[in-house]
Amino acid sequence: MPFKLSFKALPAGLAALALSLSVSMANAAEYNIDPTHSFINFKTKHLGYSWLSGTFNKISGTIDYDPENSADQKVNIEIDTASLDTNHAERDKHLRGPDFFDVEEFPTATFVSTGYSGDNNGGTLSGDLTLHGVTKNISFDVTKIGEGKDPWGGYRAGFEGSYTLKRKDFGMDFNLGPAAEEVQVDLFIEAIQKK
């Protein structure tokens, strides 16, 4: 027999509490990252004169998002490192090799959140970034871009964040000159609520 909760049968105070809990439970949900509308881009200085930029074309993961309880936000992202794309085949081959990402040895990079401080609109996300076989706990600012229903009957939420890493911290110390020791990583994540 299915369980049904009748607010009429409860005293006023309990009914309000039950309604509050049901709204909170409805808002808290798990989301799948939409790989066709999510982007992880990176850029580093080229000779100190301009930027060299690229992206990863294959990403996946989940987000636990609760707009009513910001401390419960959780993020899990997996990146296919071989999917990097800088719009230059020879450069991409070099970046996939042992001097940089070494994608045969380390085919994925991951980020698993360990904490969040902020509110529904943004804050600081902390977590373990594993890249090139090295795991480091990092923190960076994130902002909610928006959320709502989509034209296909689903519900979506979008977020952005940015983090600057030092290549040497992750064992990638191929000499590109001092201007290219740091890499800026920009995340634009759109996720679809699981049904």
Q: Any idea where the domains of the chain sit in the sequence?
A: 29-193
Q: Give the chain's length.
A: 195
Question: Which residues are CB-neighbours of 137 under 8 A, at least 6 positions away?
Answer: 114, 126, 127, 128, 129
Tens-level pLDDT at each residue, the chain (195 residues): 333 333 333 344 444 434 444 333 346 799 999 999 999 999 999 998 999 999 999 999 999 998 888 777 899 999 999 999 999 999 999 999 999 999 999 999 999 999 999 998 999 999 999 999 999 999 999 999 999 999 999 999 999 999 999 999 999 999 888 889 999 999 999 999 998
Architecture in CATH for domain 29-193: Beta Barrel (2.40)
Q: Identify the three-state secondary structure at position 27.
A: helix
What's the predicted TM-score (pTM) here? 0.84
Q: CA–CA separation, 121 vs 100, rounded Å? A: 35
Residue 179 CA to residue 193 CA, distance in Å, equals: 41
